[in-house]
Amino acid sequence: MEPVTPSEGWGALHLFYRVDRERAEREPGGAKRVLDAVASLEADEHQALCFAVLGHKADFGVMALGPDLARLQAFEQELAAAPLAPSWSYVSLTERSEYTSDEERARQRLYPRLPLKNAICFYPMSKRRDPEANWYALPFEERKQLMEGHGRIGRSYAGRVLQLITGSVGLDDWEWGVTLLADDPAVLKEIVYEMRFDEVSARYADFGPFFTGLLLEPPEALRRVGLAD
Amino acid sequence: MEPVTPSEGWGALHLFYRVDRERAEREPGGAKRVLDAVASLEADEHQALCFAVLGHKADFGVMALGPDLARLQAFEQELAAAPLAPSWSYVSLTERSEYTSDEERARQRLYPRLPLKNAICFYPMSKRRDPEANWYALPFEERKQLMEGHGRIGRSYAGRVLQLITGSVGLDDWEWGVTLLADDPAVLKEIVYEMRFDEVSARYADFGPFFTGLLLEPPEALRRVGLAD
Amino acid sequence: MEPVTPSEGWGALHLFYRVDRERAEREPGGAKRVLDAVASLEADEHQALCFAVLGHKADFGVMALGPDLARLQAFEQELAAAPLAPSWSYVSLTERSEYTSDEERARQRLYPRLPLKNAICFYPMSKRRDPEANWYALPFEERKQLMEGHGRIGRSYAGRVLQLITGSVGLDDWEWGVTLLADDPAVLKEIVYEMRFDEVSARYADFGPFFTGLLLEPPEALRRVGLAD
Amino acid sequence: MEPVTPSEGWGALHLFYRVDRERAEREPGGAKRVLDAVASLEADEHQALCFAVLGHKADFGVMALGPDLARLQAFEQELAAAPLAPSWSYVSLTERSEYTSDEERARQRLYPRLPLKNAICFYPMSKRRDPEANWYALPFEERKQLMEGHGRIGRSYAGRVLQLITGSVGLDDWEWGVTLLADDPAVLKEIVYEMRFDEVSARYADFGPFFTGLLLEPPEALRRVGLAD
Amino acid sequence: MEPVTPSEGWGALHLFYRVDRERAEREPGGAKRVLDAVASLEADEHQALCFAVLGHKADFGVMALGPDLARLQAFEQELAAAPLAPSWSYVSLTERSEYTSDEERARQRLYPRLPLKNAICFYPMSKRRDPEANWYALPFEERKQLMEGHGRIGRSYAGRVLQLITGSVGLDDWEWGVTLLADDPAVLKEIVYEMRFDEVSARYADFGPFFTGLLLEPPEALRRVGLAD
C-alpha cells in the first residue's frame, strides 16, 4: 500500500460510532477487532486515542493521527469490520500556526504526542465571512494580533488543558478542528467559555457540533461502551 | 471504575429515547432494566428524573445528574440494554451563575435536588454573537444588569416553576440547557413567553429544540410509554 | 391516571405518521386500533381530527385536542401500537389572544369545536427577533395594532376558512401552531398568501414546515392511506 | 370518493422515490403497479410525467397534476404499493400569475398540458422577507414591473424551455414550485443562471433543493431505474 | 437508449456510497459489478475516477463524466446493483468560464481528461446574494476582474493541483462543483485556504460539504473499502 503523506503535518481522523448491540451479540470478537486495529496502527507509528462518548451523538470515539493518510483510511476500514455504526467524523491535517514563528510550538502542533487525560472534547469551527465581520478581509497583522491574545488565554490553561488545532480547509465542512484534553471536565467548559469573550471567538467564530467523552485505555473504553468480549 | 468529577458542579445528561416496540415484545424485561439502572444510579448518590414525552421527538426521557461523569456514562450504557432507541441527548454541567454572589442560590444550582412536578420542559440555548447583537461583546456590568432583570422574572414564578440552568459551553452544541418543572403546563408556556420580551431573550438568545413531558415516578413513566413488563 | 390539565386552555397534539405497510400486512387490525383509540379519546371528551396527508412528509395525520395532557399522551401511545411510523409532531396548548378582550373569541380559541371541512393545513411559526425586525422589542400597543390588521384579514375569510392558533412557546420548536380548515383548497393558499403581505407576516414571521391533508371521517381517512382492515 | 377540487387551478404533486431493490426482487410486479396507477390516473383526466432522476436524491420521479386532490392522493397511495421508498415530495396548485391579465397565459398555467422533453428540473423557491430585501413590502406596481422583466427572460427561451410555476404558499415549505422541461440539458442551466442576475432572483429569491431527471415514457422510465418486470 | 447530450459540455456525476457490508458478505461479486460498470462506461467514451473516502461521509466515491446523461444515469443504476448504499451525490455539467476567451482553457474545462493523482477533494459552492454582498448584482466587468485574480491563485498551483469547476445552476443545490486533484494532500488545504482570502471567496462564496479521498485504480479503490471479491 503506497503511503499518502502530506508534505507537512500529519493526517487526523476523529471517528465517532454507535455500538451496534444486536450485531455485537451475534458476532463476538468485536472488541478484539478494534484492539487489534489500534495496536496495529500504533505499531505503524500512528497514534489512536479511544474514548467513551457522553450523550447519544455516539457511544465510542477514536482520534487517530499520523503521517500516512492511506494508513489512516485502512484503520477506518478495519473498524468497519467491528459492530460499530458510524455516526460522525472529521477529517483534518495537523498544521503549524501561521501567526507564530516559534519552531518548538510548530513542531508540537505538527507532530503531537497526546497524553491520556480523563476527558476529551472535540468541535470543528470556522472563521466568519459576514459582510460586517469578515475574518478573511482583515490584514495579516490584525489577525496575528488577535490570535496572539487568543493564544494567551489558551496558554493560561497550560498544565490544565492540552489543546490541539488541526486544519481542515478544503478537507471537511469546517475550517479547523479543536481537540481539548483535561483531567477536570469543568475546565473544558471554563476555557471555551473564557475564549468566547475574546474577540476572535466573540466576533469571528462559528462553531460546529461539540463531542464530549471520557478518555480511556482502549480495552477500558470498549468495556465502557459495551463492546468487551 | 475511576470517577471523573468536575472540580465544581455536577454532570447532567438529558437523554431522550423512542421505545423500540418490536424489541420490547421480543425481549421482555425492558422496564426492569431501566428501573434497575435508575435504582442503582440513585443508590450511588445521583438523581434520575423520568418522564413521558409528548409528541414524536421521543417517547421516554430521563434527566440524570450527579457528581461523577463516569457513573453517568455507565447509566447511559445500562439504558442501552433496554429496548430504547436513542433519539436526542444533551450533555452539560451544573454551574453557579457568574452574575450573583448569593452562595445559597449558587449551591442550589450546583447541587440541586429536583422535585416531582407534573410537567417538565427542556431546551438548550445560546447567546448571540451577531455583529449587531453580540452578548459576548458587552461589558460584564451590562450583562449582570440584564441578567438580574431576567432573573427577577424567573423568581416571580417561584413556587410555580422550578428552573435549573446547566452549562454546556465546550460540551454540547448550545451554551446552556434549561430545565423547567411545573405542576401547571400552561405556566411553562407563560414563563418562557414572558421572558421572551425581556432583552436578554428578545435580543440575545437563540433557542434549540424544545421537549415537553409528563414527569412521573419511574415505573409509571415506563408504563405510560408502553414498557411495563 | 392522574389528569394533567392546564389552568387555562387545552392541550393539542398534531401527529403525523407514515403507514408501515409491511407491518400492516403482517398484523391486520391496525385500522381498528386507530379507530378504537379515536373513539375512546372522544368518549373522554377530547376531539380527534383525522386526515390523509398529501406528499411524502406523512401518510396519515391526527390533530387531537382536549383538557388533559395525560389523556393525549395515552392516545399517542395507543396509536403507537398500530402500524404507523411517526414522521413529525407538534405540541401546543390552546390559548386566548392577548390582543383582544372579546370573551366569545377567547372561548372559541381556548375550547374550540372543529368542523369537518375538505382540507386542512398546518404549520408552526415564530415571530422574529432580528436586530432590525424584533417583534419582542415592540411596545404592546404597536403589536396590538399590527395584530388587529392581521386579524381583519383572517376574519375576511370567515365562512371560508376556519383558523385556530395554538401556543407552543416553551413547549415545541416554534412559538405558535396554525391550523386552517377549508372546503376549497385554493383558499388555504389564498389566505396565507394574502397575509404574507401584511406587516405581521411580511416583516416579523418565520415559518416552519407546512402540512396539507384531506380531512375525512376516521374510517375513510384510514382507507385512503391503505390501513383499512 | 368525493372529489376535492380547488375553485381555481389544479393540484400538483411532485413525487420522488428510491427504488427498494430488495423488495423489487422479492415481489415482482412493481413496474406493472406503477404503470397501472399512471394509466388509471390519466384515464381519470389527470396527467403524470415520469422521469429517471440523476444523482442519489431519488431514482424515480413523477409529476402528477389534475383537478382533483383526492384523486392525486389516491394515486400517491397506489404508488406506495410498489417497491418505491419515498425520498422527497412537493405539494402545490397551479395558479395564474397576478402580474399579467393575459387570459391565454393564465389558462396555460392553470390547466397545462406538458410535453415529453428529454430533461426535467424541479425546484421550490420563496421570495425573501429580509429587512433589507423584502419582496412582500414592495408595492404591487414595483413587483409587477420586476416580474415582467423576469418573465421576458423566460419567454426568450420559448421553444427551448417550457416553464411551469405552481403555487404552494400555505401548502408546502416554499412558496412556489418551478418545473422546467427542455430537450437540451445545458439550456436548463443556462436559463436559471441568466435569471439569477435578474433582480427578482438576485435580490429576492431563496431556492430549495434542485432535482434533475430524464423525462421518459413511463415503461422506459421504470426500466431505467431498474423496475422493469 | 436515446443519448441525452448537452449542446455544450459534458455531464458529471459525483457519487458517494457507504459499503453495505452485510450485503457484501451475503452476495459476493460486488466488486466485479462495479469494475464491469466502470469498464463498460469507459468503453463508451466516458470517464470514471474511483476513490476511497476519508471519514464517515462515505466509503467509496466515483466521479463519472462524459457526453451522455442517459449513459451516466445507466452507470449510476449499474452501481445500484452492487452492495453500495448511496450517501450523497452531485449533478453538474462541465462548462466554459464566461470570464475568459482562451479557447484552450475552455476546451480543457468542457472536455477534461483527469489524471490519477494521490488525493481528491470535492465540494459544491454558490455565490452569495446577500443585500450587502451580492455577486449577482455586480457588473460583468467587476466580476471578470475579481475572477481573474481568483484564477491567478489557481494557476500559481499549476502542476501541483488540478482544478475542475463544473456548473450546477438549475441542476443541483449549489451553483458549482469544485474537484481538486493533487499528489500532496497538504496542498489541497493550502490552495483552498489561500483562495479564502481572495475577495471572490472571502466576500462572495458559500460552501457546501467537503469530501476528501484517496484516488486509486478502480480495483485498488474497491479493495481499500472492503469490496474486493
Chains touching chain A at 3 or more Cβ pairs under 8 angstroms?
B, E
Q: Is C53 helix (H, G, I), strand (E, B) or coil?
A: strand
Inter-chain residue contact C80 with B121, CB threshold 8 Å:
no
Render pLDDT for B172-222 as a digit per residue (tens, 0 to 9): 999 999 999 999 999 999 999 999 999 999 999 999 999 999 999 999 999
Q: Does residue B212 sit at the C interface (CB-CB below 8 Å)?
A: yes
Q: Does residue E131 sit at the D interface (CB-CB below 8 Å)?
A: yes
Percent of chain A with pLDDT over 90: 97
Q: What is the DSSP letter of B81?
A: T
Q: What is the pLDDT of residue B148?
A: 95
Q: Determine how many CB atoms are found less than 10 A away from the CB of residue C7.
A: 11
The residue whose grid cell reads 431576567 is: B150
Residues of D in contact with E87 (CB under 8 A): 56
Residues of A in contact with B6 (CB under 8 A): 184-186
**pLDDT band with cut points at 50, 70 and 90 for residue E160:** very high
**pLDDT band with cut points at 50, 70 and 90 for residue E5:** very high
Render pLDDT for E183-205 as a digit per residue (tens, 0 to 9): 999 999 999 999 999 999 999 99
Q: What's the gap in Å between the CA of A176 and the closest CA on chain E?
A: 11
Q: Is A136 a catalytic residue?
A: no
Residues of A in contact with E226 (CB under 8 A): 77, 80-81
Can chain E be said to touch chain D, i.e. do they have 3 or more Cβ pairs within 8 angstroms?
Answer: yes
Q: Which CATH class is domain E1-229?
A: alpha beta
Inter-chain residue contact A130 with B131, CB threshold 8 Å:
yes
- Is pLDDT at C43 greater than 90 in this prediction? yes
Which phi and psi angles does E11 have, rounded to 5°? Answer: -80, 150
Q: What is the pLDDT of residue B52?
A: 98
**Cα within 13 Å of Cα(A83), Cβ side:** 20
Q: What angle do CA B5, B16, B44 make, to 5 degrees?
A: 35
C-alpha cell belonging to residue C223: 382507507
The residue whose grid cell reads 455544450 is: E8
In this prediction the pTM is 0.98
Residue of chain B whose alpha carbon sits nearest to that of C81: B21
Q: What's the gap in Å between the CA of C80 and the closest CA on chain B?
A: 8
Q: What is the pLDDT of residue B229?
A: 78
- Is pLDDT at B228 greater than 90 in this prediction? no
**pLDDT band with cut points at 50, 70 and 90 for residue C228:** confident
Residue of chain B whose alpha carbon sits nearest to that of A134: B131
List the domain boundaries for chain B: 1-229
The length of chain C in residues reads: 229
Residues of D in contact with E13 (CB under 8 A): 54-55
**By C-alpha distance, which of A131, D189, D197, D134 is closest to E135?**
D197
Q: What is the pLDDT of residue E228?
A: 84
Sequence-distant (≥ 6) Cβ neighbours of residue D82 within 8 angstroms? D30, D31, D33, D34, D37, D227
Sequence-distant (≥ 6) Cβ neighbours of residue E153 within 8 angstroms? E191, E194, E195, E198
Chains touching chain B at 3 or more Cβ pairs under 8 angstroms?
A, C
Residue of chain B whose alpha carbon sits nearest to that of A183: B4
**What string of DSSP letters covers chain E?**
------SSS-EEEEEEEEE-HHHHHHS--HHHHHHHHHHHHHHTT-EEEEEEESSTT-SEEEEEEES-HHHHHHHHHHHHTSSEEEEEEEEEEE---TT---HHHHHHHHS------SEEEEEEEEE-EETTEEGGGS-HHHHHHHHHHHHHHHHHTTTTEEEEEEE-TTTSSSSEEEEEEESSHHHHHHHHHHHHTSHHHHHHEEE---EEEEEE-HHHHHHHTT---
Q: What is the separation of C-alpha D155 from the centre of its chain, rounded to a whole number of angstroms?
A: 19
Residues of chain B numbered 11-40 and touching chain C (CB < 8 Å): 18-19, 21
Q: What's the gap in Å between the CA of B205 and the closest CA on chain C?
A: 9
Residues of chain E numbered 36-75 and touching chain D (CB < 8 Å): 69-70, 72-74
Render pLDDT for C177-192 as a digit per residue (tens, 0 to 9): 999 999 999 999 999 9
Q: What is the pLDDT of residue B213?
A: 98
Beta bridge partners of residue E182, listed in sequence order: E119, E161
Can chain C be said to touch chain B, i.e. do they have 3 or more Cβ pairs within 8 angstroms?
Answer: yes
CA distance D225 to A10: 43
**pLDDT band with cut points at 50, 70 and 90 for residue E229:** confident
Inter-chain residue contact D180 with E170, CB threshold 8 Å:
yes
CA distance E67 to E81: 23
Q: What's the gap in Å between the CA of B214 and the closest CA on chain C?
A: 7
Chains touching chain D at 3 or more Cβ pairs under 8 angstroms?
C, E
**Cα within 13 Å of Cα(A116), Cβ side:** 11
Residues of E in contact with A175 (CB under 8 A): 196
The residue whose grid cell reads 460552501 is: E207
Residue of chain E whose alpha carbon sits nearest to that of A128: E202
Who among B55, B59, B192 is closest to C13 (CB)? B55
Average of pLDDT values for A27-33? 94
Residue of chain E whose alpha carbon sits nearest to that of A10: E186
Mutate to test the interface with B, among C73, C75, C96 (most CBs of B within 10 A): C73
Q: What is the pLDDT of residue D129?
A: 98
Average of pLDDT values for E36-43? 98
Render pLDDT for E146-156 as a digit per residue (tens, 0 to 9): 999 999 999 99
Interface A-E, measured as beta-carbon pairs within 8 A, has a size of 109
- Is pLDDT at B125 greater than 90 in this prediction? yes
Q: What's the gap in Å between the CA of B195 and the closest CA on chain C?
A: 10
CA distance A58 to A77: 18
Q: What's the gap in Å between the CA of E159 and the closest CA on chain D?
A: 30
**What string of DSSP letters covers chain A?**
------SSS-EEEEEEEEE-HHHHHHS--HHHHHHHHHHHHHHTT-EEEEEEESSTT-SEEEEEEES-HHHHHHHHHHHHTSSEEEEEEEEEEE---TT---HHHHHHHHS------SEEEEEEEEE-EETTEEGGGS-HHHHHHHHHHHHHHHHHTTTTEEEEEEE-TTTSSSSEEEEEEESSHHHHHHHHHHHHTSHHHHHHEEE---EEEEEE-HHHHHHHTT---
Inter-chain residue contact B73 with A224, CB threshold 8 Å:
yes
Residues of A in contact with B141 (CB under 8 A): none
Q: What's the gap in Å between the CA of E13 and the closest CA on chain D?
A: 7
Who among A18, A210, A225 is closest to B171 (CB)? A210
Catalytic positions of B, written as ranges:
123
Q: Does residue E79 sit at the A interface (CB-CB below 8 Å)?
A: no
Cβ atoms D79, D62 nearer than 8 A: yes
CA distance C177 to C185: 19
- Is pLDDT at B8 greater than 90 in this prediction? yes
Who among C130, C205, C210 is closest to D131 (CB)? C130
**What string of DSSP letters covers chain D?**
------SSS-EEEEEEEEE-HHHHHHS--HHHHHHHHHHHHHHTT-EEEEEEESSTT-SEEEEEEES-HHHHHHHHHHHHTSSEEEEEEEEEEE---TT---HHHHHHHHS------SEEEEEEEEE-EETTEEGGGS-HHHHHHHHHHHHHHHHHTTTTEEEEEEE-TTTSSSSEEEEEEESSHHHHHHHHHHHHTSHHHHHHEEE---EEEEEE-HHHHHHHTT---
Residues of D in contact with C21 (CB under 8 A): 80-81
C-alpha cell belonging to residue E38: 466502470
C-alpha cell belonging to residue D222: 421504470
Who among A9, A80, A90 is closest to E55 (CB)? A90
| The amino acid at D134 | N
Phi/psi region, residue B55 (left: phi>0; alpha: psi -120 to 50; beta: rest), is left
Residues of A in contact with B81 (CB under 8 A): 21, 226
Average of pLDDT values for B34-50? 98
Cβ atoms B14, B90 nearer than 8 A: yes
Q: Determine how many CB atoms are found less than 10 A away from the CB of residue A216.
A: 23
C-alpha cell belonging to residue C119: 382540507
Residues of C in contact with D134 (CB under 8 A): 202-203
Q: What's the gap in Å between the CA of D169 and the closest CA on chain E?
A: 21
User: From first to last of its 229 residues, what are the pLDDT tens digits of chain D?
Assistant: 899 999 999 999 999 999 999 999 999 999 999 999 999 999 999 999 999 999 999 999 999 999 999 999 999 999 999 999 999 999 999 999 999 899 999 999 999 999 999 999 999 999 999 999 999 999 999 999 999 999 999 999 999 999 999 999 999 999 999 999 999 999 999 999 999 999 999 999 999 999 999 999 999 999 999 998 7
Q: Determine how many CB atoms are found less than 10 A away from the CB of residue D121.
A: 25
Who among C130, C188, C226 is closest to D80 (CB)? C226
**pLDDT band with cut points at 50, 70 and 90 for residue A229:** confident
Q: Which residues of D163-190 are buried (b: 16+ CB within 10 A; e: fewer)?
A: bbbbbbbbbbbbbbbbbbbbebbbbbbb
CA distance D128 to D207: 10
ipTM of the modeled complex: 0.97
Residues of B in contact with A188 (CB under 8 A): 170-171
Which one is catalytic: D90, D123, D157, D204?
A: D123
